[in-house]
């Protein structure tokens, strides 16, 4: 089994991209697999030194708040993530290959890594989240992506989830050992619907789904493909600087579902007890 991807960087695709600014509706997480917010700056970030620890902490905290606000999750924790700076050879670079952040196997590996981190945390809230995961309860993993300056090049594009076919996901047969080989590669196909946000500004952020335990079909669910695109006609230098971070969120079922589950569990318990008593009474009535 291989432990890295064979990426074909020689085949270029002309991908039709629709500018989200031309649309009346805002994409949603359940149909498109991604959405975005605008006029939502990170408060006070202009007073922090770019790339400093405090700067990164502010971006992470804001990402958690965005996910909680959009999903209703009461518990969400940031992990991984960092900057992408086209001007810095030491920084991660933008990825011009269609991918999502985790394959089904990658999601299993990542959740195991996160669980270990949470159990070793000194924050009781994080330890409790880790315990929640060991009980097999549902979590959803999102990515929050925000530019630090207005985007001029390498725009981030997304494929609408319900425009994909099952066979668009390429089989990698990789045993994940790191974030870099936990990815899910995708192929481009005419008929897919791709979107971007022209000249995205720092007060605008993308939120996109990368794993969903609640998915009935495969337990992985929406892991929306994305890539960095060079717009037709652009011949300038690569200048994009951005920050992204993964957010793992505990998604509790709606109150009605929780009540129904508790009621069903109570009825099943009583029924089991009743059948046990009934069986015992029948045994006692048998002639000796």
Mind listing the pLDDT tens digit of every residue in the chain (288 residues)?
456 655 566 778 899 999 999 999 999 999 999 999 999 999 999 999 999 999 999 999 999 999 999 999 999 999 998 999 988 877 787 888 999 999 999 999 999 999 999 999 999 999 999 999 999 889 999 999 999 999 999 999 999 999 999 999 998 788 999 988 999 999 999 999 999 999 999 999 999 999 999 998 899 999 999 999 999 989 888 899 999 999 999 987 765 444 554 565 566 666 766 666 666 665 565 555
pLDDT of residue 248: 98
pTM of the model: 0.85
Instruction: Please name the CATH architecture into which domain 17-252 falls.
Output: Sandwich (2.60)
pLDDT of residue 269: 61
pLDDT of residue 180: 87
- 17 forms beta bridges with 194
Alpha helices in 120-232 (DSSP H): 124-134
Q: Is the dihedral of CA 67, 69, 73, 78 positive or negative?
A: positive
pLDDT of residue 172: 78
Q: How far is CA 120 from CA 79, 117, 133, 134, in A?
A: 14, 5, 14, 14
pLDDT of residue 277: 64
pLDDT of residue 266: 63
pLDDT of residue 6: 59
Q: CA 40, CA 60: separation in Å to the nearest integer?
A: 14
pLDDT of residue 94: 80
Confirm if 58 and 42 have CB atoms less than 8 A apart.
yes
């Amino acid at each position: 089994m291989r432990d890295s991807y064979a990426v074909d960087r020689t085949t270029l695709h002309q991908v039709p991209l629709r500018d989200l600014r031309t649309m009346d509706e805002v994409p949603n997480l359940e149909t498109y697999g991604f959405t975005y917010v605008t006029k939502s700056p990170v408060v006070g970030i202009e007073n922090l030194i770019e790339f400093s620890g405090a700067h990164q902490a502010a971006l992470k905290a804001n990402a958690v708040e965005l996910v909680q606000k959009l999903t209703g999750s009461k518990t969400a924790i940031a992990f991984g993530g960092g900057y992408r700076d086209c001007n810095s050879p030491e920084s991660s670079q933008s990825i011009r290959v269609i991918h999502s952040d985790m394959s089904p196997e990658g999601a299993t590996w990542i959740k195991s890594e996160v669980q270990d981190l949470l159990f070793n945390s000194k924050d009781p809230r994080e330890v409790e989240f880790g315990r929640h995961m060991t009980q097999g309860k549902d979590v959803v993993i999102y990515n929050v992506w925000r530019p630090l300056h207005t985007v001029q090049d390498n725009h981030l594009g997304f494929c609408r989830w319900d425009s994909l076919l099952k066979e668009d996901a390429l089989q990698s047969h990789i045993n994940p050992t790191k974030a870099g080989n936990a990815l899910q590669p995708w192929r481009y196909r005419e008929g897919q619907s791709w979107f971007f946000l022209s000249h995205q500004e720092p007060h605008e952020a993308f939120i996109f789904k990368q794993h969903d335990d609640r998915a009935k079909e495969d337990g992985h669910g929406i892991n929306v493909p994305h890539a960095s695109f060079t717009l037709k006609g652009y011949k300038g230098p690569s200048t994009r600087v951005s920050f992204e971070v993964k957010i793992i969120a505990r998604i509790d079922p709606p109150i009605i579902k929780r009540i129904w589950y508790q009621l069903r569990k109570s009825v099943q318990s009583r029924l089991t007890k009743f059948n046990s008593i009934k069986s015992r009474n029948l045994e006692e009535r048998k002639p000796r």
